[in-house]
Amino acid sequence: MSGRENQQHRYDKIRRLCRQVNRKRRHLQEKVNLLCQDLVHSNLQFTETLHTLQRAYEFQSDLMGEFDGRYLLYKALRELKSGLPESNAAIYLCRSGNFEAHLTGPWYDHPEDIREMETLLTATVIRRMVETGQSYLVNDVETWQDISSEHRQGLRGLALMALPIEFEGELLGVLVFYRRNDRGFCCRDKALLERLMPPLGRAIASVQKLEHLII
């Protein structure tokens, strides 16, 4: 092999080595980028979880020590509604078989409108909840095939979200949110509310036990 061929051979070998190094470098960079993305995502999830737990703790602290059942329910609804603007919220209690607290917006400010809405909710989402024990998120009631066409017509234009209020395996009541279906609700709204249901159930059970002892 001549000196020129030998030199060319060395150049080719160096180029192959450089290509191998560059491939490994790119592969390593991709791994580092994926690891950084995972760390950022994990930190965001951790921060959100901490925020949710903090809110649940503060919510429970605000409710415990309240001995007036009606005041407790309205206090809870105001706090829960603060995270869902332009929503209406109501709490149905199984013990009484009625809605015991109801916060509405300007669309349902007349007592007759509220009574009609509570009648429709009782016949639809409350009945379904008592029968199945599962939560509901329906972003267009007119498409909800589990209820009658008459009830779909009565609730037209609305999105509904309902969650069970439980304590030690007993269904104490139902939390219902509703608003115009062009706003709707999302799974994240439902997940955040679900975190707040245990302290609400505990507070309601405590007040009901106290009321039973007083009576």
The yes-or-no verdict on residue 60 having pLDDT over 90 is no
Q: CA dihedral defined by 94, 171, 76, 97, rounded to 10 degrees?
A: -10
Predicted local distance difference test score (pLDDT) of residue 28? 65
What confidence tens digit (pLDDT) does each residue in 147-188 have?
999 999 999 999 999 999 999 999 999 999 999 999 899 999
Q: In this predicted structure, which of 6-10, 20-24, 98-102 has the lowest mean pLDDT?
A: 6-10
Read off the pLDDT of residues 127-137 as tens digits, 9 standing for 90 and up: 999 888 889 99
> What's the pLDDT band for 88 if we cut at 50, 70, 90?
very high
Q: Is residue 205 pLDDT above 60, yes or no?
A: yes
Nearest-angstrom CA–CA distance, 34 and 37: 5
For residues 52-68, give the mean pLDDT: 68
- Which phi and psi (to 5°) does residue 136 adopt? -135, 140
What are the DSSP calls for the chain, one per residue? --HHHHHHHHHHHHHHHHHHHHHHHHHHHHHHHHHHHHHHHHHHHHHHHHHHHHHHHHHHHHHTT---HHHHHHHHHHHHHTTSTT-EEEEEETTTTEEEEEE--GGG-SHHHHHHHHHHHIIIIIHHHHHH---EEES-GGG-TTS-HHHHHHTTTEEEEEEEEEETTEEEEEEEEEEETTT---HHHHHHHHHHHHHHHHHHHHHHHHHHHH-
Say whether pTM exceeds 0.95. Answer: no
pLDDT-based confidence at residue 24 (cuts at 50, 70, 90):
confident
Beta partners for residue 170, in sequence order: 167
pLDDT of residue 19: 77
CATH class of 67-214: alpha beta
Q: Is the pLDDT of residue 80 over 70?
A: yes
Q: Which long-range contacts (CB under 8 A, 24 or more apart) does 68-76 make?
A: 68/207, 69/100, 69/204, 69/207, 69/208, 69/211, 70/100, 70/101, 72/203, 72/204, 72/207, 73/100, 73/101, 73/204, 74/101, 74/103, 76/101, 76/200, 76/203
Confidence of residue 105 (pLDDT cuts 50, 70, 90): confident
CA 214 – CA 211 distance, rounded (Å): 5
